[in-house]
Structure 1
Amino acid sequence: MSDSLPLGEWVDRGVKFVIDNDGGTLERMGSGIGTLTEGLELGLQAIPMPVITALLVAIGFWRIGWKFGLFCLACCYVIDATGFWPQTMVTLALIIAATVISLVLGMPLGIWAARSDRVASIVRPTLDFMQTMPAFVYLIPAAMLFGLGRVPGVLSTVIFAMPPVVRLTSLGIRQVNKEQVEAGITFGCTPTQVLFKVQIPGAMPSIMAGINQTIMMALSMVIIASMVGAGGLGNDVLASIQRLDIGLGFESGLAVVLLAIMLDRITETFGAQGKRQTWRDKLGLKPKDNGS
């Protein structure tokens, strides 16, 4: 650290000040996040593997088609056959917990930034900082504030994964057709009604794209968060690096890739625009001939 501009020392003192004067807030926050994550882990691990597989296959068929449904079946089989199913459920629980917290914090912030240029001017550079700071750096203050385990892993993931949903929520609302907004105001809608009945529905494709990107960034970060004891597939990836075990690294990495593909393809369909497929389209059948 430089003596002429000791930024690192100031940050270190700030973190220590928060630890000494938080009044129990950090403990309550950590307890809430830990309870949420642990509950998700226990819930997912309690569900039999065939049930979760059937659910993913059904969602894959419903949203994309029968080929992707079979792909989901193959993915689940490979993850289970290689022995990484329990770790995958832990990783999925971490992703869900981090994504939920990111959405609860990020979507209102994105709406606020869309409706206020002053807020947007503050939020934009903050999000730039959050996205460009090396992901490993977030682990240090999180571990100092909350120790090792799930909580610092989830919190560092939230910081890393939240910017896309904030950006794309704000962008989507700002790009809603002004004529539609003016029509809503003309018909007597209050600002809240315009927001929920005009702007958010119009911005939904952009918002869903932000949610998709948040899930993907959360997945990448929870693997890194294994360094502070978050658990899941990240533990196996980290162990393979420490042991120089190529086989373990490939198998655990493959489980991460397969989980990422399933989550990405399924969630991106919720924001896609276009003609909705019928069950005949998903099965690859030709349109019914009406004799015309």
Structure 2
Amino acid sequence: MDRVIDLGKYIEKGINALEENFSVIWRAIDDGISWTVEVMNDTLLSVPFILFVLVIAGLAYYAKTGRKVFKKEGLKKGLGLALFVILGFLLIYGMGYWKEAMQTTTLVLVSTLIALILGIPFGILSAKNKTADAIIRPILDFMQTMPAFVYLIPAIFFFSVGNTPGVIATVIFSLPPAVRLTSLGIKNVQKDVIEAGRAFGATENQILFKIQLPLAMPTILAGVNQVILLALSMVVIASMVGAKGLGSIVYQGIQQNNIAKGFESGLGIVILAIVLDRITQSFANKK
């Protein structure tokens, strides 16, 4: 069947034009992300293993117990998660994948940070402006339904191979929940609370930062949780364009048909996912 509309040709011309005319911007983004990833990765690896495990286990315990740290009810909730963190990290360390685990953590944290910096303001805009909401929603639908592998093509084109295209593809894939849940949280704030703020003379900025965002914080934190999990789900795909970490070990296992290597590195990703999910979910569930 003959092609009537050669849409891909026009998209390719547009991407080529962006690469030629804004190469300075892409280079600056590449340098900034690469520097951030390297600094954060070196920082995490510089922390002694035992100290890192104890800090994360303590954070997990506090996230689960809150103000009931020394109460019997808090002990039951927090000890299980803290023990899982310790045993899980000891397993990763024992399998010899601690460095790769920190590289994966760095990729997830940098991607999550960028996604939140972009997603929360757009979520606020979507909640505040109906026209913006009508424009943003279809874009988010497109981003969520487009196969993740497709994001790798322009990422490689603009940034070659390495951590940067992996981070960019991960940000695009994990951004929608940050926008959607921020918008949802603000929209669900009770109208009478906002009207009470206006009645006491609060400005729109004061209403946003002192009423809407604090009340929407549990929903926003649920969005943070979803962003982190989606970023972790991208680590194997990101490894195909040179991103380092456990995902690259899984990819090597696939290429070499090495079941042991693939299973061990995959288990490491699962442990990181559970730890990050339980900690962020516990903070999100706090009143």
Could you tell me the TM-score, scaled by structure 2's length? 0.93
Q: Which residue of 1 aligns with 2:9?
A: 9
Alpha-carbon distance, 1:141 to partner: 0.5
Q: Which one of the candidate residues 145, 167, 173 is aligned to 1:154?
A: 167
1:144-186: CA deviation from partner (whole Å, max 9, x where unpaired): 1000001111011100001001000000000000000000011
- After superposition, the CA RMSD in angstroms is 1.2
Q: Which residue of 2 aligns with 1:30?
A: 30
Q: Is 1:269 paired with 2:258?
A: no
**Number of matched pairs:** 274
Could you tell me the TM-score, scaled by structure 1's length? 0.92
Unaligned runs of 5+ in 2: 65-77
1:244-275: CA deviation from partner (whole Å, max 9, x where unpaired): 1111111000000000000000001111045x
Match runs of 1:1-292 below 5 Å: 3-64=3-64, 65-273=78-286
Aligned AA for 1:12? E
Aligned AA for 1:133? M
Q: In 2, distance between residues paired with 1:86 and 1:265?
A: 22
Change (3 A) 1:182 1:135: same
1:218-240: CA deviation from partner (whole Å, max 9, x where unpaired): 11112210000011011100011
Aligned AA for 2:45? Q
Q: In 2, distance between residues paired with 1:29 and 1:248?
A: 33
Change (3 A) 1:147 1:178: same
Q: In 2, distance between residues paired with 1:129 and 1:222?
A: 21
Q: Which structure's residues are more often helix, by fraction? A: 2
Unaligned runs of 5+ in 1: 275-292
- On the 8 A contact 1:154/1:222 being kept in 2, the answer is no
Runs ≥4 residues deviating over 3 A: none
Q: In 2, distance between residues paired with 1:160 and 1:17?
A: 24
Q: In 2, distance between residues paired with 1:155 and 1:239?
A: 22
Percent identity between matched residues is 45
Find the residue that maps to 1:176 and give its secondary structure: coil
